[in-house]
Amino acid sequence: MVERLNGLSGLGRSPAFSCHNDLLCENFIDDGHCLRIVDYELSGNNDACFDLGNTAQEAGFDDQLRTVSLRGVLRTRTRSSSPHEPVRP
């Protein structure tokens, strides 16, 4: 994984996306039917990796879930895959 990330260093800064910027577990509300995200006071444009990293750390993602999530973000950054292609571990 480290080699892959080091190889991507030539991509430069990614475009800014609409981000929550405070995706703590407390900001997710699951009522059993719908997952809601609340508390948008820090939201704004940012690198999508910020929200991914914050969520992965706060929610305690295991290595497999971190890998799948990172692949999804990197796929959108490199545009190397169809947006409809599923992300697999």
Please tell me the predicted confidence (pLDDT) of residue 80: 44
Cα angle 44, 74, 24; round to 5: 45
Domain that residue 42 falls in: 15-78
Please tell me the predicted confidence (pLDDT) of residue 87: 45
Total structural domains in the chain?
Answer: 1
CB 38 within 8 A of CB 27: yes
Please tell me the predicted confidence (pLDDT) of residue 40: 94
Residue 19 lies inside a defined structural domain of this protein: yes
Residue 26 lies inside a defined structural domain of this protein: yes
pLDDT in tens, 20-73: 999 888 999 999 999 999 999 999 998 878 888 888 998 899 999 999 988 887
Please tell me the predicted confidence (pLDDT) of residue 77: 63
Q: Which residue did the predictor score with more confidence, 88 or 8?
A: 8
Residue 38 lies inside a defined structural domain of this protein: yes
User: Would the pLDDT of 19 be above 80?
Assistant: yes
Please tell me the predicted confidence (pLDDT) of residue 81: 44
Residue 62 lies inside a defined structural domain of this protein: yes
C-alpha pair distances (Å), 19 with each of 38, 39, 52, 59: 12, 12, 10, 17
44 DSSP β-pair partners: 19
Residue 7 lies inside a defined structural domain of this protein: no
Residue 84 lies inside a defined structural domain of this protein: no
Residue 1 lies inside a defined structural domain of this protein: no
DSSP assigned state of 79:
T
Please tell me the predicted confidence (pLDDT) of residue 11: 56
Cα–Cα distance for residue pair 58/22, rounded to 1 Å: 10
